[in-house]
C-alpha cells in the first residue's frame, strides 16, 4: 500500500493522516534497519579478514615451532654425539698416555741418601737382585730416572723414582715378579706408571674387589684398570665402575632374598615341629569325656577333680541323643540334699567361649558351694558339642533348650546367657518363659528383634548385667531389656563386653544376691 492508494481510499481525513504518518515511520525504521544491516555486514567482512590474518599468523607460528623443535632435537642429538665423542676422545687420550708410559716404572722406597746422579746405577744394581738374574742374561738398562717431588713420596719409607726402561719386555718381566723386595735393608717396590684417570679407576676397582670378596665372590684387578669377577660359574670383566657396582648390588639383593627365604623356611619348620609336639601332647592334656549309657534315662557324667575347688568336683558328660556336652559342679560331702531339690542354674556361653569358661572362672564351684545346682553346656558347634542343623532356625533353638532342660531334669532353672547365646535365650524367653525361674542376660544379641510391648509382658525376674566399657552391644541390649517390669540393672565399672571375666568378684556378688532372692 503506497501513499497514492491511501489517498484514493475512502477514509476520513483524520484517519488518512494517521495512516500516512504510520507508513512514513515504518519506512524510516526500515531504512535504519537496512543501514544497520549494511554496517553489520561490513563489520563481519572486516572480522573475517582479521580471522584470516590470524590464521596466517598462527600457521607461521606453528611452522616456526616445528622448526624450533627440529633445532632442539638436532641440538640434543649433537650434544649426545659430543658426549660420546668426548668419551671416545678421553679413552683414546688415556690409551695413548698409557702407551707413552708403557716403558715407565714407579720404584718406591729408594733411600733418600741416594743422589739423583746415582739413581740409575743404584736401580740397575737393584734389578738383578730383585729379579734373581744371573750374569749370562741380558742386563736391564735404564734410559732415565727421575725422583718425584717429596710430597708424593711415602713418609719414612724413602722416595719414589720414575724410571724409563730401554726395552718394554724388561718392564713386563719386572712386573711379573714379586713387586716388593729387600735390597740392602730397604723395602723397595715396583709399580706400573699409569695415567691419572687409569690410576683412579684402578683404585676404585681395588676397593670394589674387597667388597666382592666380603660377599664371598672371587674378584681380581687386571692391568691396567679392569676387574674380573667369577660368580655362579660365569666370568665378568668390567672396564667401567658402574657396571661392576650394578652386579654387586644384584648379588647383595639376591643374598638378602635367599636369607629371607631361609628364615621363613626355618620359621615354617619350627612351626611344624611345634604343631607336631602339641599334637603328641594333646591326648595327655585333654579332659576325659563321658557318654551316658542308653539304658539310663538321666544323663550321667565322669567326675574329674578341679584344682583349688575345695569340696567341689566338676562332672562332665554328654546328654543322650542330642550329644550336647555339659559340665556340672557337684559337692563331695555326704550329707547334702539331692540335686533335684536345689535351685538349678544353667549357663550359656558367648561366641569365643565354651562351658569351660564358667569352670575356669570358678562360677560353677562357687554356686555349688552356695547350695545351687550349677550346670554349663557347650552349644552346638562349640567346644565338645557337634554341629546340629536343627538349631539353624529360631524355632529349632527354642526346641533345643526345652530338650536340654528335659534331659538334664531341670525344673524352672535360672538361665544365664551371655553375648551370642542370646540367639537361644531371647526367643526362649518370649515363647517358653514360664519354664524359667529367673533370667540373667549379659549383653546378649537379638534383643532388637522384639518390641517394647513384648518386653513389658515378660513376668520373669531378670538381672541385667553389662560392662561399663561395652558401649555397643551392652548399651543396645540394655535399652531393650530394661523394659521388662521385674528387671534390675548391674553395671560393672571398668569392664568390657565379657564383663564377668574383667570383674569376676563383682559379677559373682551380683549373681549370688539375685539368686538368693529367688530361693
pLDDT value at position 132?
63
pLDDT value at position 96?
74
Mean pLDDT calculated for residue range 271-287: 73
- Hey, where are the domains in the chain? 101-193, 200-275, 312-331+342-517
Give Rg (Cα) of the chain: 54
- The pLDDT tens digits for 28-72 are 888 889 999 999 999 999 999 999 999 899 988 988 898 888 888
CB atoms within 10 A of CB 313: 18
Is-contact 518 493, C-beta < 8 A? no
Is residue 476 over pLDDT 90?
yes
Give the DSSP per-residue string, 77-118: HHHHHHHHHHHHHHHHHHHHHHHHTTTEEEEEEE-TTS-GGG
CB atoms within 10 A of CB 33: 10
Is-contact 350 420, C-beta < 8 A? yes
Is-contact 439 369, C-beta < 8 A? no
Q: Which CATH class is domain 101-193?
A: alpha beta
Closest CA to 490 of 500, 184, 364: 500
The three-state secondary structure class of 477 is helix
Is residue 105 over pLDDT 90?
no
pLDDT value at position 497?
94
Is-contact 160 186, C-beta < 8 A? no
Closest CA to 109 of 203, 199, 192, 182: 182
Annotated catalytic residue, options 195, 470, 477, 487: 470
C-alpha cell at 480: 531393650
Annotated catalytic residue, options 195, 225, 418, 419: 419
Annotated catalytic residue, options 225, 418, 497, 502: 497
Distance CA 425, CA 441 (A): 8
Helix H, strand E, coil C: the string for 173-240 is HHHHCCCEEEECCEEEEEEECCCHHHHHHHHHHHHHHHHHHHCCCEEEEECCCEEEEEECCEEEEECC
The share of the chain scoring above pLDDT 90, in percent, equals: 39
Highest mean pLDDT among 92-96, 167-171, 249-253, 379-383: 379-383
Buried-exposed string 65-102: b where 16+ CB fall within 10 A, e elsewhere = eeeeeeeeeeeeeeeeeeeeeeeeeeeeebeebbeebe
Is-contact 205 241, C-beta < 8 A? yes
CB atoms within 10 A of CB 19: 15
pLDDT value at position 504?
96
Highest mean pLDDT among 15-19, 217-221, 363-367: 363-367
Is-contact 227 237, C-beta < 8 A? yes
Distance CA 11, CA 17 (A): 9
- The pLDDT tens digits for 233-277 are 888 988 888 888 889 998 899 888 888 898 889 899 998 988 888
User: Does domain 312-331+342-517 fall into CATH 3.40.50.1820?
Assistant: yes
CATH superfamily of 200-275: L1 transposable element, C-terminal domain (3.30.250.20)
Helix H, strand E, coil C: the string for 402-460 is HHHHHHHCCCCCEEEEEHHHHHHHHHHHHHHHHHCCEEEEECCCCHHHCCHHHHHCCCC
Distance CA 110, CA 58 (A): 78
CB atoms within 10 A of CB 178: 11
- The pLDDT tens digits for 118-140 are 788 887 777 766 666 654 455 67
Is residue 226 over pLDDT 60?
yes
Mean pLDDT calculated for residue range 363-374: 94
Is residue 26 over pLDDT 50?
yes
DSSP annotation of 150 reads G
C-alpha cell at 434: 514360664
Mean pLDDT calculated for residue range 65-83: 87
The share of the chain scoring above pLDDT 70, in percent, equals: 81
pLDDT value at position 138?
54
| Runs of H (alpha helix) within 353-417 | 356-360, 363-369, 394-408
Residues linked to residue 467 through DSSP beta bridges, in sequence order: 492
- The pLDDT tens digits for 136-172 are 455 677 888 888 886 544 445 678 888 887 776 766 6
Q: In what order do the strands lie in the sheet with 312-318?
A: 301-305, 312-318, 325-331, 372-377, 343-347, 414-418, 438-442, 462-467, 487-492
Q: What is the mean pLDDT of the chain?
A: 82
The three-state secondary structure class of 274 is helix
CB atoms within 10 A of CB 317: 20
- Taking each continuous run of H as one helix and of E as one strand, the counts in the chain are 14, 17
pLDDT value at position 300?
40
Tell me whether strands 343-347 and 372-377 are parallel, antiparallel or unpaired: parallel
Mean pLDDT calculated for residue range 491-500: 95
Mean pLDDT calculated for residue range 395-413: 93
The three-state secondary structure class of 326 is strand
Task: Work out the angle at residue 491's Cα, subtended by the Cα atoms of residues 488 and 494, and round it to the nearest 5 degrees.
Answer: 175
Residue 98 gets the label, from left (phi > 0), alpha (psi -120 to 50) or beta, of alpha
Distance CA 419, CA 428 (A): 15
- The pLDDT tens digits for 346-358 are 999 999 999 999 9
Distance CA 397, CA 62 (A): 83
Closest CA to 251 of 270, 229, 269, 268: 229
Active site residue 349: no
CB atoms within 10 A of CB 417: 27
pLDDT value at position 323?
85
Mean pLDDT calculated for residue range 277-284: 72
Distance CA 37, CA 33 (A): 6
C-alpha cell at 307: 584344682
Distance CA 465, CA 518 (A): 17
Tell me whether strands 312-318 and 186-192 are parallel, antiparallel or unpaired: unpaired
Active site residue 419: yes
- The pLDDT tens digits for 409-448 are 999 999 999 999 999 999 999 999 999 999 999 999 999 9
Distance CA 207, CA 226 (A): 12
Amino acid at each position: 500500500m503506497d501513499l497514492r492508494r491511501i489517498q484514493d481510499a475512502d477514509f476520513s481525513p483524520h484517519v488518512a493522516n494517521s495512516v500516512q504518518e504510520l507508513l512514513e515511520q515504518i519506512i524510516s525504521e526500515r531504512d535504519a534497519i537496512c543501514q544497520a544491516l549494511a554496517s553489520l555486514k561490513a563489520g563481519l567482512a572486516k572480522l573475517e579478514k582479521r580471522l584470516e590474518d590470524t590464521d596466517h599468523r598462527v600457521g607461521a607460528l606453528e611452522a616456526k615451532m616445528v622448526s624450533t623443535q627440529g633445532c632442539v632435537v638436532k641440538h640434543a642429538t649433537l650434544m649426545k654425539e659430543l658426549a660420546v665423542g668426548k668419551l671416545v676422545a678421553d679413552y683414546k687420550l688415556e690409551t695413548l698416555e698409557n702407551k707413552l708410559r708403557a716403558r715407565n716404572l714407579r720404584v718406591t722406597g729408594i733411600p733418600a741418601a741416594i743422589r739423583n746422579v746415582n739413581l740409575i746405577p743404584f736401580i740397575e744394581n737393584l734389578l738383578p737382585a730383585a729379579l734373581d738374574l744371573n750374569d749370562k742374561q741380558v742386563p736391564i738398562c735404564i734410559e732415565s730416572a727421575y725422583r718425584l717431588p717429596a710430597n708424593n713420596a711415602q713418609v719414612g719409607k724413602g722416595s719414589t723414582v720414575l724410571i724409563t726402561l730401554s726395552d718394554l719386555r724388561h718392564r713386563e718381566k719386572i712386573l711379573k715378579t714379586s713387586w716388593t723386595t729387600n735390597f740392602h735393608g730397604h723395602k723397595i717396590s715396583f709399580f706400573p706408571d699409569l695415567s691419572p684417570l687409569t690410576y683412579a679407576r684402578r683404585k676404585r676397582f681395588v676397593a670394589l674387589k674387597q667388597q666382592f670378596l666380603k660377599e664371598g665372590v672371587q674378584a681380581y684387578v687386571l692391568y691396567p684398570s679392569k676387574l674380573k669377577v667369577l660368580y655362579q660359574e660365569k666370568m665378568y670383566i668390567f672396564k667401567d665402575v658402574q657396571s661392576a657396582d650394578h652386579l654387586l648390588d644384584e648379588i647383595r639383593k639376591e643374598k638378602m632374598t635367599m636369607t629371607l627365604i631361609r628364615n621363613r623356611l626355618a620359621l615354617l619348620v619350627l612351626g611344624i615341629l611345634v604343631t607336631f609336639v602339641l599334637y603328641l601332647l594333646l591326648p595327655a592334656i585333654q579332659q576325659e569325656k563321658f557318654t551316658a549309657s542308653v539304658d539310663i534315662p538321666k544323663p550321667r557324667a565322669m567326675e574329674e577333680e578341679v584344682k583349688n575347688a575345695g569340696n567341689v568336683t566338676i562332672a562332665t558328660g554328654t546328654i543322650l541323643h542330642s550329644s550336647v556336652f555339659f559340665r556340672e559342679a557337684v559337692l563331695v560331702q555326704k550329707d547334702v540334699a539331692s540335686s533335684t531339690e536345689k535351685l538349678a542354674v544353667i549357663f550359656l556361653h558367648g561366641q569365643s567361649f565354651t562351658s569351660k569358661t564358667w569352670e575356669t572362672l570358678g562360677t560353677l564351684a562357687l554356686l555349688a558351694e552356695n547350695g545351687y545346682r550349677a550346670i554349663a553346656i557347650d552349644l552346638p558347634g562349640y567346644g565338645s558339642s557337634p554341629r546340629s542343623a536343627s538349631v539353624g532356625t529360631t524355632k529349632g533353638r527354642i526346641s533345643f533348650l526345652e530338650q536340654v532342660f528335659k534331659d538334664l531334669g531341670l525344673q524352672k532353672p535360672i538361665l544365664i546367657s551371655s553375648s551370642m547365646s542370646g540367639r537361644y535365650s531371647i526367643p526362649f524367653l518370649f515363647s517358653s518363659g514360664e519354664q524359667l525361674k529367673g533370667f540373667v542376660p549379659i549383653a546378649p544379641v537379638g534383643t532388637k528383634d522384639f518390641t517394647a510391648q513384648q518386653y513389658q509382658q515378660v513376668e520373669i525376674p531378670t538381672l541385667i548385667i553389662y560392662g561399663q566399657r561395652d558401649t555397643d552391644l551392652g548399651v543396645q541390649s540394655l535399652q531393650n531389656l530394661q523394659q521388662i517390669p521385674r528387671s534390675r540393672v548391674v553395671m560393672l565399672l571398668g569392664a568390657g563386653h565379657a564383663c564377668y571375666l574383667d570383674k569376676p568378684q563383682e559379677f559373682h556378688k551380683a549373681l549370688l544376691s539375685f539368686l538368693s532372692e529367688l530361693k
